[in-house]
Each structure stands twice: as C-alpha cells, then as structure tokens.
Amino acid sequence: MEVVISIAIGILAGSGVWLLLRPRTFQVLIGLSLLSYAINLFIFSVGSLAIDKEPIVLPGLAPTLDSYTDPLPQSLVLTAIVIGFATTALFLVVLLALRGLSGGDHVDGREEQP
C-alpha cells in the first residue's frame, strides 16, 4: 500500500509542477490544486497507513502504537482542504477579472497570436 500511495503522490506532484510551468492561468490554477492534493496525501500518509484500525483509542484497550492511527494528520489535511478550496475560489475570481480587463489569460501578459 505504501508503494501505491508513493506513486500517486509522485504523479500528482509531477503533474502539478508541469502545469505550473504552463503559460495559461487556468493551467496554473489546476497545477496548484494538484500540488495541494499531493501534499495533502503526503501529510495523510505520514499519520500511518493502517487498514481496519480505529482512529482513536477505545476505552479498555491499552494505548500502543499498533492499536490506533494518529488523528492529527487527518485534522491537518481537513483544514488544508478547506483553506485550499477558499484559495482556489479566490484565485478563480481574480482570474476571471483579469481575463475581463486584459482580454487574455496568459501568465506573462502577452497577447494571443492567431
């Protein structure tokens, strides 16, 4: 399972960086989103990849490292998802305003060639 998560993080991060280097602002926005997904998946996987384990310690069980999954990375990822969604919405509004004012969506401000 660790290999699958590692490959998924690598593909998301590589695709995000590739899209960040594109000249269009919408592609940059999607690249930032993919990079944030890769980082969220990485933080989530740091908490321990456990299948069929409780996220908290149950009453009556002795708390050991093998008996539960750390809930802190889960809460950090949930917070990062909310902040990322708000940032993406703000960036999308700025992108639409820029396109309305300049008539194009290039990052460097160049005019589109026919």
pLDDT mean over 29-33: 91
- d(CA 88, CA 99) in angstroms, rounded, equals 16
Q: Which residues in the chain belong to E strands, given as ranges?
A: none
Task: Name every residue whose Cβ is closer than 8 Å to that of residue 35 and which is 6 or more positions away in sequence.
Answer: 12, 13, 16, 17, 20
Percent of the chain with pLDDT over 70: 74
Under CATH, what is the fold of the domain 2-50+67-102?
Answer: Helix Hairpins (1.10.287)
Res. 2: pLDDT tops 90: no
Locate the domains of the chain by residue range: 2-50+67-102
pLDDT digits (tens, 9 = 90+) for 41-72: 998 888 766 666 666 666 666 666 565 667 78
**Token pair in block for residue 34:** 């993919």
